[in-house]
Amino acid sequence: MQEDEETTTARYIGSNLSTQLMLKTLFEMIATMADDPDRYRSSMRKKLLELADTMPLSPMAAAREKKVRGFVKETVGNLLINQRPN
């Protein structure tokens, strides 16, 4: 059975959100174990952003590649924000 566009979009967004929540949880667990959690997050963020610029991708149109790399950078930026606990 073919899904309508709204259902497909909702599934895609839900999948991305759940992946981001899982990654956020993992990064926070690892950062908590580090001697300096803020430095760990900053270092990891920098390395992942560099990787987002240089990681080889499957052949695709330049405009699509730019969007993919931009989305990855946005996701990494949202996942690894240095926040002090309350």
pLDDT tens digit sequence for 4-19: 888 877 777 777 777 8
Residue spans of the domains in the chain: they are 5-79
- Burial letters for 46-68: b for 16+ Cβ neighbours within 10 Å, e otherwise? eebeeebeeeeeeeeeeeeeeee
Query: What would the two tokens of residue 48 be?
Result: 């992942």
Residue 86 has pLDDT above 50, yes or no: no
pTM for the model? 0.66
- Give the pLDDT confidence score for residue 1 in this predicted structure: 61
pLDDT tens digit sequence for 28-69: 899 899 999 889 888 988 898 898 889 898 888 888 888 888
Q: How confident is the model at residue 82 (pLDDT cuts 50, 70, 90)?
A: low
